[in-house]
Structure formats: structure tokens, C-alpha cells
Amino acid sequence: MNVYDSGTILSDLSILGYKLTDNVKKADLVIINTCTIREKAEQKAFSFLGRMADLKNKKPGLMIAIGGCLAQQEAKNILKRVPFVDIVFGTNVLGRLPALIRQAEKTGETAIDVDMSGKSRSALTIHAKKTPITDYVTIMRGCDNYCTYCVVPYVRGRETSRLPEDVVNEIKIRVKKGMKEVTLLGQNVNSYGKKEGLSSFSELLAMANDIEGLQRIRFTTSHPKDLSLNLIHAFRDLEKLCNHIHLPIQSGSNKILKKMNRKYTREAYLEKIGSLRSVKPDIAITTDMIVGFPGEAESEFAETLDLMKTIEFDGLFAFAYSDRQLAPASSFNDKLEEGVKKERLLKLLDLQKEYTRRKNKAFINKIVTVLVEGPSKKNNSDKPNAISQDLQWTGRTPENKIVNFTLDRTDLSCNDHLLGKLINVRIEKALSNSLKGTPVTDIKGEITYAA
Ligand code: SAH
Ligand code: SF4
């Protein structure tokens, strides 16, 4: 969500004449778009702000803006903690940032706007000339679920859906500017439009599926309690919808799920996985887990491990529970020691490693369709001055597996031509977080494209 928001900020500021720099020391304006979902994210934001204080001392004209969830959460205290910031903007006022910058420039005083009462923008103007091959589009903001560990409803506000025509328009504009794959974003995409009586999420997916030039659709995040049969069927019916779902479960124990206010049981979750697999037997399923929730007994953690063995996820994002002051669980009893949480986290990640390895290995010798996203990052970090014959490229399969492959460096123009194309790649090697392969060529030695 923050990546998407940062993109909109960048687009809005480009009309004021700002350009992106990759060297923070050269910047006239630094915008820190923060996250407070877990303690670690918050610590990172404060430590970056600390570094900015040094920079501001050396370069007094430098403007510093802090936005996102931390700005929203700490609205009242932020100037005590970081008195040198010039602009504080909340999660619902992104569109007003250019005006806040002007205000701070004019008055020389900190401009603050963390108002959450107004409507967030639905229609957007996209000023950027080009968009990435794969990009995000927000379909809704905020959340009404109030999971007891989570700060989102307090810092991002109530759930509001954008109008379907605005979402579709934004995708179309981005497609014209080069996007081939969209990830529709929301905290709970399954409840898209319900409150406002707009189209349902499956209907929105069908509209996106009809957009000419768009090749792939993904979405995140899907809440298990609202995963409908219509959405499950969309995986069968919409050819552009990728063969992957991220369905966070958080815990394998019914007692903990109840304390988390997740509103589904382990059995209901397993049933939904069953339905998904009956429609798409090879669908990739990834999840989020929290270990060490207040009161989590060893036996309840064992239920989580057991669930992992039953489902065999393709991927896992696991987190040690951390208190978020605004969220109710921060005042729950029976908090677990950090050491216990860490131990459980490692155990969980260790178990997942085996499933990831096995799932990745199953791709060896298979031909997969890869959307080419560009040269792999490794090219830049790997001895940049060395003259190599080959260039590593990267893309993803519909299951969201990263595939790296090598192309002959001698024909760079042909390589560039591949950007954003769906090509066939034969997988030769499975690494822990990615696959490696070779593009399939025809008799003339030319790369073959997927239909
Ligand atoms: N809306 C999404 C989750 C967004 S937050 C959903 O409901 O699935 C991303 C992940 O951060 C959550 O799935 C959860 O696993 C983790 N998380 C959120 N709050 C947390 C906390 N207080 N401590 C540890 N992990 C947390
Ligand atoms: Fe947080 Fe729960 Fe909403 Fe996800 S669904 S954002 S975890 S409150």
C-alpha cells in the first residue's frame, strides 16, 4: 500500500517540478512514507528520521516530510520526537501534500495535516510517462475488521472502496503507459464495494479481465472469512487471473483465532483451501502467520505447525507478535517472552523452508510462462565493471515464483524487446527463493512467446 501511495505522491510532485534522486544527500525534499504495522517497521522509520536530523544540520534548506501510518498515529507527539520535520501528513490527505509543501516553504513553519474525516481520492491523475511492467492499483482503503493485534483500522481509517469506473480507468491509463500486470490492493479485497453497494470484487475482476493489453491480474489481501464461491470460481473463469492466492490465516488454533477476532475457524479455512484446490488443483497458496500472540500455549503453537503440515503452503510471511499501542491486544494478559516468540518463529520458518524447497523443485524440467520484468538486480551488484557475455533477466510465473534466466548480452536490443512479454522458460534449477531456467527457442533459435 505504501509503495502505491509513494507512486501517487511522486506523480503529484512531478507537476511541481520535483524529480526523484537515488542519492538522499542530493535531495531538496525527503519524504518518509512510514509503516507502523509491526514494531520493527516503526523502529526503522525512527532510525531513518534520526539519520535525516544529521543531514538537515548539514543542509539547513533541506525539507523533510513524514507521512503514512506513523505520522497518523503520532500526530500529536511527532514534533516532540522529531522537531526538525517540515511537513507531517496523514494517510488520508496524500492529495494535499503539494499544498502542504508550498505552505511550509512560505511560512517556514511545520505544516501538519492528519485529518481523517474527509473522503480519500477515488479518481487519480497519473502524470508519470511510464509505469512499471507490474504495478499496484488500490481499490479500497482502510479496514473495518478490527483484528485485535492490528493497528490498521486506527491509522488508515474506515474501509472505503473506490468507484469501479475509477479503478478500471486507472488500470487502462497505466496499461497505455506500459503496465502489463496489475495487483489490486486492499486490506480485505473480498469485501470490495459491499458497504457502498458498488460492484462486487469478482465483478471488478471480470471488468479488469476485459481490459485490452493487460496480461495478468493479481490481488492482495484476501480475508478468509469473506472469500466467496464467486471469487473461487473467478480462478477458473478469468484467464488473466494468476494462479496464486495470498490468504493470511494468522494461527492454526481456534482459541487464538477467536482472541484475534479473525471471525473464522481453522476448519472453515481448510474448507476454503479445499474448494480452491478443487477448482485449481495447482494453485499456489501463501499465507501470513503471527506467532506468540498473547496467551498462545505451546499446544496452540503446535496446532499452527500441524496446519502447516496439512496445507503445505507455497510461501509464508511469519511474524513474532508485537504490541501496537492502539490495538486492543496490547492490553491483553499473558504476554509471551521475546525468546519464546523468536524460537517459535524460527521453528515455523524452518518447517516452511522444506515445503518451499519441495514446491520449487516440482517445477524442474517444466516449461513455465514468465512475464519478463527486466534485468535481474544481481546484474548491478555483481561486479558492475566486469565484462560478461550474459545478462540475467527476471520475471515471474503465474504462481508468483521468481524466475531468473540468462540472455545473450550480444543482442541487447532484442533483450529490451522482451520487456513485458510473456515467454516460455524451461526450469532447470530450484533455489530457495527463486527458479532458474532457459528461454525455450524455436528451430531458428528464436525465443518463443506464450499465447
Ligand atoms: N489486511 C491483511 C493484513 C495486513 S497486515 C489481512 O488481514 O490479512 C500484514 C500482516 O502483518 C498481517 O497479516 C499479520 O500477519 C502481520 N501483523 C499485523 N499486526 C501485527 C502485530 N501486531 N504483530 C505481528 N504481526 C502483525
Ligand atoms: Fe488488520 Fe485485520 Fe484489517 Fe487485516 S483485516 S488490516 S489484519 S484489522
Atom of ligand 1 nearest to the CA of 322: 23
Q: What is the CATH number of the domain that holds 243?
A: 3.80.30.20
In the prediction, which pLDDT does 125 show? 78
User: Which of 361, 389, 424 is the C-terminal boundary of a domain?
Assistant: 361
Residue 385's pLDDT is 45
Q: Which of 330, 361, 392 is where one domain is finished?
A: 361
Query: Do 328 and 404 fall within a single domain?
Result: no
Which candidate, 116, 10, 136, 23, places its Cα nearest to that of 65? 10
Q: Is 253 in the pocket of ligand 2 (CB under 6 A)?
A: no
Give a yes or no: residue 126 inside a domain. Answer: no
Do 382 and 336 fall into the same domain?
no
Phi, psi of 49, rounded to the nearest 5 degrees: -60, -35
Same-domain check for residues 6 and 72: yes
- Answer yes or no: is 221 within a domain: yes
| Same domain, yes or no: 6 and 74 | yes
Q: What is the pLDDT of residue 411?
A: 54
How high is the pLDDT of residue 449? Answer: 86
- CATH code at 428? 2.40.50
Q: Any idea what the CATH number is for the domain that residue 61 is in? A: 3.40.50.12160
DSSP H helical segments within 260-297, as ranges?
A: 266-279
Ligand nearest to C-alpha 293: 1
Q: So what's the pLDDT on residue 271? A: 98
> Closest residue (by CA) to atom 4 of ligand 2?
187
Question: What is the Å distance from ligand 1's center to 322 Cα?
Answer: 10
- Ligand located closest to 263 CA: 2
CA of 37 to the centre of ligand 1 (A): 7
Q: Which residues constitute the domain of residue 9?
A: 2-113
From 145, 159, 261, the mutation candidate for ligand 2 (largest count of ligand atoms within 8 A of CB) is 145
446 belongs to a structural domain: no
Q: CA distances (Å), 310 to each of 269, 290, 298, in order?
A: 12, 18, 19
Q: Residue 451: inside a domain, yes or no? A: no
**CB of 215 closer than 6 angstroms to any ligand 2 atom:** no
Q: Which of 35, 37, 256, 289 to mutate to test the pocket of ligand 1 (most atoms within 8 A of CB)?
A: 37
Are residues 90 and 148 part of one domain?
no
Q: Ligand 2 centre from 414 Cα, in Å?
A: 45
Per-residue pLDDT of the chain (451 residues; tens, 9 = 90+): 999 999 999 989 988 889 999 999 999 999 999 999 999 998 999 999 999 999 999 998 999 999 999 999 998 788 888 899 999 999 999 999 999 999 999 999 999 999 998 888 888 878 777 889 999 999 999 999 999 999 999 999 999 999 999 999 999 999 999 999 999 999 999 999 999 999 999 999 999 999 999 999 999 999 999 999 999 999 999 999 999 999 999 999 999 999 999 999 999 999 999 999 999 999 999 999 999 999 999 999 999 999 999 999 999 999 999 999 999 999 999 999 999 999 999 999 999 999 999 999 999 999 999 999 988 866 554 444 444 456 789 999 999 999 999 876 555 555 667 889 999 999 999 998 999 999 998 888 788 888 6
Which of 288, 313, 330, 332 is the pocket-test mutation for ligand 1 (most atoms within 8 Å of CB)?
288
**321: Cβ below 6 Å to ligand 1?**
yes
Question: Which atom from ligand 2 is nearest to the alpha carbon of 156?
Answer: 6
In a domain, 81, yes or no: yes
397 Cα to the center of ligand 2, angstroms: 28
Give yes or no: residues 408 and 284 share one domain. no
**Cβ-based neighbours of 385, under 8 Å, separated by 6 or more:** none
In this prediction, residue 194 carries a pLDDT of: 95
- State residue 384's pLDDT score: 46
State the pairing for strand pair 422-430/435-439: antiparallel
Alpha helices in 59-142, H assignment, sequence order: 68-73, 78-81, 97-107
Ligand nearest to the CA of 260: 2
Q: Which of 340, 342, 333, 365 is nearest to 430 (CA)?
A: 365
Domain membership flag for residue 121: no
Nearest listed ligand to the Cα of residue 327: 1
Residue 450 included in any domain: no
One domain, residues 218 and 355: yes
* Ligand 1 atom nearest to 320, measured from its CA: 24
Same structural domain for residues 383 and 249?
A: no
CA distance 66 to 57: 17
User: Which of 367, 430, 377 has the alpha carbon at shortest distance from 397?
Assistant: 367
Shared domain for 307 and 252, answered yes or no, is yes
Domain match, 324 and 390 both: no
Q: How many helices (H) and strands (E) does the chain have?
A: 15, 17
β-strand partners of 209? none
Q: pTM value?
A: 0.93
Q: Are residues 326 and 429 in the same domain?
A: no
What's the number of domains the chain is made of? 3
pLDDT score recorded for residue 375: 83
Extract the C-alpha cell encoding 342. Answer: 523468536
Domain check: are 90 and 108 in the same one?
yes
* Atom 3 (ligand 1) nearest CA: 187
129 within domain boundaries: no
Nearest CA to ligand 2 atom 5: 145
- pLDDT value of position 124: 80
CB-ligand 2 contact for 153 (6 Å cutoff): yes
